[in-house]
A = this chain, B = another copy of it.
Amino acid sequence: MKFNIAVIPGDGVGPEVVEQAKKALDAVAEAYNHIFIYKEAQLGANAIDATGGPLPKETIEICKSADAILFGAVGDPKYDNDPSAKIRPEQGLLNLRRELDLYCNVRPVKAYDNLISNSPLKREVIKNSDFVIYRELTGGIYFGEKTLSEDKQTAHDVSSYTVKEISRVTHLAFQAAQKRKKKLTLVDKANVLETSRLWRKTVSEIAKEYKDVELEYLFVDNAAMKMILNPTHFDVILTENLFGDMISDVASSLCGSIGLLASSSIGAENGLFEPIHGSYSQAKGKDIANPLASILSAAMLLQYLGLHEEADAIERAVDKSLALGITTQDIKRKMQKSTTTSKVGDFVADYITNQD
């Protein structure tokens, strides 16, 4: 089959990790007889330098006409260190998500056996953890009205949610649970928040359409606690924007492998796939950044396109690189040598091509 893939390398180490992800996609194309047509686009600090703004119109067009978007990273210290900067690279990604109405953030979290020694948790606690967080990305308190009183003594933030906003992300989460261990945990604070009560009511209604999925409710503080004490409890977690922001980061601290975590942002028409690590500018151009999160984001992209077998091939190659210790410095184990970004990418691509 033939697919159009928008490629946004972005800033910092973005270009070099995305290059490795493309190697993996090329290997998949060859092994499974697909054609991936890449269209490259600018976003972030590089776009500001080239065009004056962080999100050129051309980028939006390329993304809208693509089947999926492979994204690297955004951000540059020269903007972070300038508090007067009015234009910020990060705004490019936020604006792109809004332009494409990417309303659902998907964050898989998995404890890789070979990386457990890097986890802050004890082996017996984290072992076999494998869950995914579905976070609503366009509503809630981050996007509500914000006011500061004229005397500057009182500030307000408004959180709001509609049944429609809740429903669309809920369906995605239930569908994911059906393909996994058939368990969905709604994380809210329904004992105190009206928005949470609307979430609970809406989700429990929609649950009737997914009778094969077990639905559980947890308050967000309790969920965070349980995630630390018993992470294997979870399968699919569904939650609103603010709570998702927090528990995603709790989750990503557990496995000892931030350099392996990928995420996606999904809308009705499009999906964007990226590593959760940032632009990591200190490492830019040094061929030392871990490309596995970007490579795994390419696997998520294939899943999104319905190419499940192909996605599995990438994941197997990543497992193999970890098992053999063909990894970058950040996740190297004792007594092992580390290798470079591009060599990890070469290994993964070769393994996809040559595995039987």
Q: A residues touching B (Cβ–Cβ < 8 Å)?
A: 119-122, 125, 141-142, 144, 146-148, 152-164, 189, 192-195, 197-198, 220-222, 224-225, 228-229, 242, 245-246, 248-250, 252-254
Beta-carbon contact of A159 and B159 below 8 Å: yes
Beta-carbon contact of B148 and A156 below 8 Å: no
Beta-carbon contact of B148 and A154 below 8 Å: no
Cα of A350 to Cα of B36 in the assembled complex, Å: 77
Known: A153-B163, A155-B160, A224-B249. 18 other contacts (CB 8 A): A120-B121, A120-B229, A142-B193, A146-B193, A146-B194, A147-B194, A148-B198, A154-B162, A155-B197, A156-B158, A157-B159, A157-B195, A221-B245, A221-B248, A221-B249, A225-B249, A228-B253, A246-B246
Beta-carbon contact of A228 and B120 below 8 Å: yes
Among the listed B159, B225, B246, which residue makes an inter-chain contact with A220, where contact means beta carbons less than 8 Å apart?
A: B246
With A120-B121, A246-B221 already in contact, the answer to whether A154 and B160 are too (CB < 8 A) is yes
Beta-carbon contact of A162 and B153 below 8 Å: yes
15 A-B pairs, CB-CB below 8 angstroms?
Answer: A120-B122, A121-B122, A142-B192, A144-B156, A148-B198, A154-B163, A155-B195, A156-B158, A157-B193, A220-B246, A221-B248, A224-B246, A224-B253, A228-B228, A228-B250
Residue ID in chain B nearest A153 by CB atoms: B163
Give the Cβ gap from A215 to chain B, nearest Cβ, in Å.
Answer: 17
Beta-carbon contact of B249 and A148 below 8 Å: no
Residues of B near A246 (CB, < 8 A) are 220-221, 224, 246
Cα of A162 to Cα of B152 in the assembled complex, Å: 9
Give the Cβ gap from A123 to chain B, nearest Cβ, in Å.
Answer: 9
Residues of B near A220 (CB, < 8 A) are 246
Among the listed B156, B160, B197, B221, which residue makes an inter-chain contact with A195, where contact means beta carbons less than 8 Å apart?
A: B156
Cα of A108 to Cα of B294 in the assembled complex, Å: 40
Residues of B near A253 (CB, < 8 A) are 224-225, 228-229
With A120-B229, A122-B120, A193-B141 already in contact, the answer to whether A159 and B156 are too (CB < 8 A) is yes
Cα of A225 to Cα of B157 in the assembled complex, Å: 24
Residue ID in chain B nearest A250 by CB atoms: B224
Residues of B near A154 (CB, < 8 A) are 160-163, 198
Give the Cβ gap from A161 to chain B, nearest Cβ, in Å.
Answer: 6
Among the listed B120, B158, B163, B189, which residue makes an inter-chain contact with A158, where contact means beta carbons less than 8 Å apart?
A: B158
Beta-carbon contact of A160 and B153 below 8 Å: no
Cα of A323 to Cα of B47 in the assembled complex, Å: 61
Q: Which of A120, A148, A154 has the most CB of B within 10 A?
A: A120
Residue ID in chain B nearest A198 by CB atoms: B155
Beta-carbon contact of B250 and A250 below 8 Å: yes
Residues of B near A242 (CB, < 8 A) are 189
Cα of A83 to Cα of B252 in the assembled complex, Å: 36
Top 4 closest A-B pairs, CB basis? Answer: A146-B194, A155-B198, A221-B249, A225-B253
Cα of A167 to Cα of B272 in the assembled complex, Å: 43
